[in-house]
């Protein structure tokens, strides 16, 4: 009951990359960089195990950014000529690579860190990939001229890598789709179908993470415009409830998401955000347990998985570490409180 995990990313140590940044520069290159990525991955696996989490991940230590890490291994994408583009419905500008010809995987994308992580933990291993719709929102299209066509091209490539990750021994493959909260109607119309294409044929657990973004200023400013009730999930959850995806990761603590929207996910496992990533204040175990208690009004306890609201990448390492501990301690308290009812 209440198996704990993080949404995905963790801060990179200062010797691996720039800190407190969403698109950090690496500190080294070549073999030295590969070694540093491996060291950071093992460090965070140990930290997650020590904190007492049930499901661990590589903390995305081997990718610069959660979307572009995947794109670097795709033929048909020009990384040498990035262009400035407003992403997430123009919420903020990013330098994005361009799609210039038909897409094809050059080879494995995440074999190195997935196999390394698998070899060094006996815990359940979760691995994250960007969702197809979010990828489409984070590249400039100079070839397909049709969003839906391009989204399914990416979904096919994601599926190839996901099947290979499953063969590496990954237990849970999670697709990150923050774009589902921005383009709600498109998400319900074709975003979920593209997601299912990306997960086609997987027999491991499949998941999707939908959030209101990292704790960066552009996101907190955006959230302040969304009013008292954030109902974005209401459009896409029914489509997900009817989909083949097993688990849904959502924001809860300190958000304005009406918790009863979780009812729309009947039949799915729900990864409930009980740790805020937009604040450096570390949650108390009581606060975490209270949030789990609130979610229990709408999610059966065997389907509730305590999690973080989003990734912890741009945070201070020490704060992230203490948040992992708060997640585990708060969940222990929740088990004491709620296991008997």
Sequential DSSP letters for 40-90: HHHHHHHHHHHHT-SEEE-TTTT-SSTTHHHHTTEEEEEEEEEEEEEETTT
252 binds Zn ion (CB under 5 A): no
Rg (CA), the chain: 19
Q: CB of 126: closest distance to Zn ion in angstroms?
A: 14
User: Given the complex with Zn ion, which of 236 and 310 has the nearer CB atom?
Assistant: 310
Q: Which residues contact 289 (CB under 8 A, 6 or more apart)?
A: 330, 331, 333, 334, 337
Q: CB of 176: closest distance to Zn ion in angstroms?
A: 6
Q: What is the size of the binding site for Zn ion (CB under 5 A)?
A: 2
Strand 172-176, strand 140-141: pairing: unpaired
10 binds Zn ion (CB under 5 A): no
Nearest to 195 by CA among 163, 246, 152: 152
Q: CB of 308: closest distance to Zn ion in angstroms?
A: 9
Q: Distance (Å, rounded) from C-alpha 41 to C-alpha 113?
A: 7
DSSP label of 299 = S
Helix (H) or strand (E) holding 330: helix 317-338
Which parts of 282-301 interact with Zn ion (CB under 5 A)? Answer: none
Q: CB of 214: closest distance to Zn ion in angstroms?
A: 7
211 binds Zn ion (CB under 5 A): yes
Q: CB of 26: closest distance to Zn ion in angstroms?
A: 22
Q: CB of 250: closest distance to Zn ion in angstroms?
A: 10
Of these, 310, 312, 324, 334, which contacts Zn ion (CB under 5 A)?
Answer: 310
Stretch of residues binding Zn ion (CB under 5 A), selected from 36-44, 97-105, 112-120, 205-213: 205-213
User: Given the complex with Zn ion, which of 9 and 41 has the nearer CB atom?
Assistant: 9
Stretch of residues binding Zn ion (CB under 5 A), selected from 32-40, 44-52, 279-287, 310-318: 310-318
* Interface positions with Zn ion (CB under 5 A): 211, 310
């Amino acid at each position: 009951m209440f198996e704990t995990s993080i949404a995905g990313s963790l801060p990179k140590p200062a010797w691996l990359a720039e800190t407190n940044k969403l698109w950090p520069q690496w500190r080294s290159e070549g073999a030295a960089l590969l070694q540093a990525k491996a060291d950071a991955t093992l460090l965070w696996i140990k930290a997650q195990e020590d904190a007492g989490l049930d499901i661990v991940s590589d903390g995305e230590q081997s990718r610069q950014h959660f979307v572009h890490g995947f794109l670097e291994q795709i033929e048909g994408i020009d990384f040498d000529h990035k262009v400035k583009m407003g992403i997430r419905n123009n919420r903020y500008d990013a330098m994005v690579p361009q799609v210039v010809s038909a897409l094809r995987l050059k080879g494995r994308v995440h074999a190195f860190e997935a196999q390394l992580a698998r070899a060094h933990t006996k815990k359940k291993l979760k691995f994250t990939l960007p969702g197809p719709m979010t990828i489409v929102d984070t590249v400039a299209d100079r070839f397909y001229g049709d969003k839906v066509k391009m989204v399914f091209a990416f979904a096919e490539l994601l599926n190839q890598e996901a099947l290979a990750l499953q063969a590496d021994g990954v237990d849970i493959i999670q697709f990150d789709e923050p774009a589902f909260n921005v383009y709600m109607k498109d998400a319900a119309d074709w975003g979920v179908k593209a997601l299912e294409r990306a997960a086609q044929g997987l027999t491991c657990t499949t998941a999707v993470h939908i959030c209101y973004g990292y704790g960066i200023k552009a996101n907190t400013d955006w959230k302040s415009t969304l009013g008292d009730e954030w109902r974005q999930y209401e459009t896409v959850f029914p489509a997900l409830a009817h989909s083949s995806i097993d688990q849904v990761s959502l924001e809860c603590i300190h958000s304005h998401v009406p918790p009863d929207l979780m009812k729309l996910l009947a039949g799915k496992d729900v990864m409930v955000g009980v740790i805020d990533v937009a604040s450096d204040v570390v949650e108390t175990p009581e606060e975490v347990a209270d949030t789990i208690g609130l979610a229990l009004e709408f999610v059966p306890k065997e389907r509730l998985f305590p999690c973080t609201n989003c990734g912890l990448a741009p945070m201070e390492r020490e704060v992230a570490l203490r948040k992992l501990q708060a997640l585990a301690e708060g969940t222990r308290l929740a088990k004491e409180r709620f296991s008997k009812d």
